[in-house]
Structures are given as structure tokens and as C-alpha cells.
Amino acid sequence: MTKKRSDTGYSIALAAKALLLLCCSMLFACTQERQPCLTPKTASFNLKCVHYLTDTNTTTQDTSLPRAVFIPLTDTPLQSLYYRTSSANFTISLSPVADSCSWLITTDSLLYAFDTLSFHYTRKLQFLSNACGYTYFYSLTAATTTYNNIDSVLITNPSVTNDVNTRQLKIFFHRN
Amino acid sequence: MLIPGNLRYFFTAISVLLLLCVSVAEGQTTDTLPKADTTKAKVDTVKVVQPSRQLVLGADIILPVRNYLETQRTGYEFHADYFLHDELYLAAEGGWGSSEVAYTDLKYNTRNTFLRLGFNKVLLPRENRKDWGGLMLGLRVAAAAINRSPVTYTIVDSLWGNSEGALGGKTFGGYWAEINAGVRVELFHGLIAGWMIRGKFLMNAKQFKDLAPLYVAGYGRGDKNAVFDFNFYLSYALRWKRS
């Protein structure tokens, strides 16, 4: 009988300890803060700049723009993206408040005139996560340009998502 | 569950620790028991003794604590199991809960009820007819009826301007399977305490794509296809003789 009572007491003590441990762990586990957003929240519209090697052939070569400037044509005060280092790959964004938008682009802020790139697209609402909320993904339908420095543009992938590695537009510059 | 990744490991560590404690306790209990009467043991081995019938009813006692400490979610859970034969139990759990998301760029809330059905198998052989505790493994299939309120959202864009919108409410189902392991101990006559860790695997993740609920009572985080969860039950056993 004494043995049985001590066994029961041991079980109670064990259960009490377990409960205490659990309550303590719960106190640490409970959090009301929002989880951090670990994925890009804005869809990346990735451009690649190239030029034809000659006027007649179709082989292209990367065009490294020395000091490229991209300016979005928005209703808000003028903002721009200055690239201080030479590059052939750039990332811009599309407007989530309209089905088209335009950017001014120049290959070198000191030397060349601007071209206007216009994009038309459809928007698709995309839930990222509770931590990141919603964003828009886009499907490009058309791209147009002026021809000061640019020869033509080509949509290589119409799907604009938050995947930073996929390029959607190839810009062909005049051979200088 | 709304448990950060590191703390999930903490939970797992505690569970393993508890498992070890109980194993040690059971080992000690065996050691301190008086030697069985060999004559009676022989009789027991000859005569097949059927255990009584048992129905256990209980509730998760950790969830009310979490409900008090967290503002974004609530959950309640009850369980029952019925002894069938050969240490096999028919098990059922049910409950309800809610969550509220009130961020600056995302606002909605959800409510859901859930039901799990399955079996538990006690792995350790019982020492006598009155031994109802032990280490259990279980399998479950579960379903939840989820009701989501209309959603309001804001897409923040410092360049082009913010975009706001709303989506209608939605009622949908969630289905998942579980593998469980746990231990329970009889504290007094019929009063049982026990814990259970659960691995849950969502089976209709597509339904959760357009907006994964922050919390689904009975399952946990709706944006995870596999989650681990933990319950601590306090239960009462109703027993009666087999007819």
C-alpha cells in the first residue's frame, strides 16, 4: 500500500514538473509580433541591354551602360534610378496602380538623350504570406519605345514576378 | 502553431526529455514493485483476463493559457478515446478556434471548427488490468471547416503609389493527416494527465494558396504544408466491466 502511494506521488510530481516545463516553454513561445517577410515584396522587372555587332547580322553582344539613368513617369515628384557602375542588366518595377507605365532611360547621364519605354500589362493579385501580405504579379502584353538610342525592344518572358533571376525584356541599342 | 522555428525545436527537446523522464519513472516503478506472486502469475497466464471497458474524456489545458497570452489567436480542444482491444483505442478530438490579423497592410479574421478521428496504440505491455497508462502511437485523419472574413489589403509602393483593395469572405475545408506519439499517466483513480506530439500533413494545400489563414485551430499555421504541434491533456476515465 505504501509502495502504491509513493508511485502515485512520483507520477504526480512528474506530471507537475512536466506541466511547469510546458507552461514556461509556452511563455517563451507566445509571440504577437508579425513574422519577418523574407521574400521580395515587389515584382522585379529585369532588363538586359544588348546591341547588334553589325548592321546586317543578328548576333548580339551585351551593352554595358556606363552611367545609366532610369526615371519613372509618375504623378509623384520625380524620382530616378542612377546606376553609378557600368552594367548591362537592370531591374525596374511596374506600376501597381495602373495597367501601363512608362520609364525614361538613357545609356549615359552625361552624353545621350533619353528614350521613353512604355509597358502594357495585366495585373494579378498575389498573396505572398501573412508576413509579407499581397503584391501584384504582371503579365506583359506590349512594350514600345522611342528610338533615340534604342533600336528595338523584345519581351523575352511576359511573366513579371518576384523572381529576381528571370529576365523579361531585352533592349537592343544602336551600334555606336 | 504560432511558434517560431527555434522554439519548435525547444518543444521537441522538451518532449524528448519528458519521454525519457517517463521511461525512467516506469523503470523505477518496476524496480520498486514487490515480487509478483508466482502462483498468481501462473494463474494469470492461463486465464485470459479481459480489461474493463474504458472511455476517456479530456481537454487540452495548455490552450487556455495560450489564449490568454496571445491576442491573435484562440483555440480550444477536447478529446475522447475508447478502449477496443489489444491496447488499441478508438480516438477522436475536436474543437474550435479563431485568429485575427490586423496589420497595417492586411486585415482579416478566421473561425474554424475541427474534428480528428483515428486510433491510438499503446506500445508498452500493461503490468496488470488496472494499468491504463503508457506510451502511445497514433494515426489520425482530420478535417476543419474554415470561415474567413472579407480581407482588406494595401500594397505599399513608394515609387508608383499604394494600391488598396478588398476580397470577399470565403468558407472552405482543410484536410490533413497526423502521426502522433505521446505518454499518459494516471494521477488518481481515473484522473489522467498526458501529452502528445503531432506531425501534421496538409492534404489540400491548394485551398490555402489565395490566402493561407494565420492559424487554423487543430492544425496550426495555415501557410505550412507540414507542422508539428503539441497537446497536454487532462482527462477523466470512465470504466465499467465488460458484460
Q: What is the pLDDT of residues A34-76, one digit of tens each?
A: 888 999 999 999 998 887 776 666 677 777 888 888 889 887 7
Angle at A160 between CA A156 and CA A166, to 5 degrees: 60
**Average pLDDT of span B28-32:** 41
- pLDDT recorded at residue B53: 86
Can you tell me the mean pLDDT for B41-69?
76
Q: Is the pLDDT of residue A30 over 60?
A: no
Q: Which residue of B has its CA nearest to A100?
A: B160
CA distance A128 to B209: 9
CB contact under 8 A, A11 and B25: yes
Distance CA A126, CA B167 (A): 12
Instruction: Check residue A67 and give its pLDDT.
Output: 82
Written as one letter, the residue type at A51 is H
Measured between CA atoms, the residue of chain B closest to residue A78 is B159
pLDDT over threshold 80, residue B60 = yes
What is the ipTM score, two decimals?
0.75
What is the distance between the alpha carbons of residues A40 and A27, in angstroms, rounded to a whole number? 32
Using only C-alpha atoms, chain A has a radius of gyration, in whole angstroms, of: 28
Query: B156 or B37: which carries more pLDDT confidence?
Result: B156
Of A23-37, A38-52, A69-83, B48-62, the poorest mean pLDDT is in A23-37
Q: What is the pLDDT of residue A94?
A: 93
Query: Which grid coordinates are listed for B54?
Result: 474504458
pLDDT recorded at residue B38:
46
Distance from CA of B97 to the nearest CA of A (A): 16
Q: How long a stretch of residues is chain A?
A: 176
pLDDT band at residue A174 under the 50/70/90 scheme: confident
Residues A142-167 have a mean pLDDT of 91
Does residue B33 surpass a pLDDT of 50?
no
**Chain A residues touching B165 at Cβ < 8 A:** 125, 134
The candidate with the shortest Cα–Cα distance to B218, out of B72, B39, B109, B74, is B74
Mutate to test the interface with B, among A3, A4, A6, A11 (most CBs of B within 10 A): A11
Cα angle A75-A80-A86, degrees, rounded to a multiple of 5: 155
Rounded to whole angstroms, what are the CA distances from A66 to A45, A53, A108? 20, 18, 6
d(CA B35, CA B43): 15
State how far Cα B36 lies from the chain centre. Answer: 37
- For residue A129, the chain B residues in CB contact (below 8 A) are 212, 223
Q: How many CB atoms lie within 10 A of CB A162?
A: 16
Residue A27 has pLDDT above 90, yes or no: no
Average pLDDT over residues B29-37: 43
Q: Is the pLDDT of residue A10 over 80?
A: no
**Which of chain B's residues have a Cβ under 8 Å away from the Cβ of A101?**
160
Lowest mean pLDDT among A77-81, A98-102, A134-138, B229-233: A77-81
Closest CB to B69 among A15, A27, A98: A27
Average model confidence (pLDDT) across chain B:
82
Q: What is the rounded distance in angstroms from the CA atom of residue A16 to the CA atom of residue B21? A: 12
Query: Which residues of chain A does B170 touch, with a Cβ-Cβ cutoff of 8 Å?
Result: none
Reading the block at residue A14, the C-alpha cell is 512528474
pLDDT higher than threshold 80 for residue A109: no
Nearest to B70 among A14, A15, A32 (CB): A32
Give the contacts of B215 (CB within 8 A, at least 6 positions apart): B1, B2, B72, B73, B75, B97, B99, B110, B221, B222
Q: Kindly state the average pLDDT of the residues B162-182.
A: 93
Mean pLDDT of B214-223: 92
The residue behind cell 548576333 is: A59
Question: What band does A9 get if pLDDT is binned at 50, 70 and 90?
Answer: low
Return the pLDDT at B17. 43
The terminus-to-terminus CA distance of chain B in angstroms comes to: 43
pLDDT at B50 over 60: no
Task: Note the pLDDT of residue B2.
Answer: 38
Which residues on adjacent β-strands are paired with residue B143? B115, B175
Sorting pLDDT into bands at 50, 70 and 90, what band is B207?
A: confident
Distance CA B127, CA B24 (A): 16
**Closest C-alpha among A112, A86, A102 to residue A153:** A102
Per-residue pLDDT for B14 more than 90?
no
pLDDT surpasses 60 at B72: yes
**Residue among B22, B71, B163 whose CB faces A97 most closely:** B163
> What's B143-194 look like in SS3?
EEEEEECCEEEEECCCCCCCEEEEECCEEEEEEEEEEEEEEEEECCCCEEEE
Determine whether the interchain pair A96/B33 forms a contact, defined as Cβ–Cβ distance below 8 Å. no
- Which pLDDT score is estimated for A68? 85
Determine the Cα–Cα distance for residues B230 and B62; give it in Å rounded to an integer: 9
Residues with Cβ within 8 Å of residue A96, at least 6 apart in sequence? A123, A135, A136, B155, B157, B160, B161, B163
Distance from CA of A150 to the nearest CA of B (A): 25
Quickly count: other Cβ atoms within 10 Å of residue A61's Cβ: 11
pLDDT on residue A1: 41
pLDDT at A2 > cutoff 90: no
Average pLDDT over residues A18-30: 57
- In chain B, which residues have their Cβ closer than 8 Å to the Cβ of A44? none
Dist CA A13 CA B204 (whole Å): 42
Whole-number Å distance between alpha carbons of B233 and B198? 13
Q: Report CB contact under 8 Å: A7, B10.
A: no
Average pLDDT of the segment spanning B99-106: 93
What's residue B187's pLDDT?
A: 87
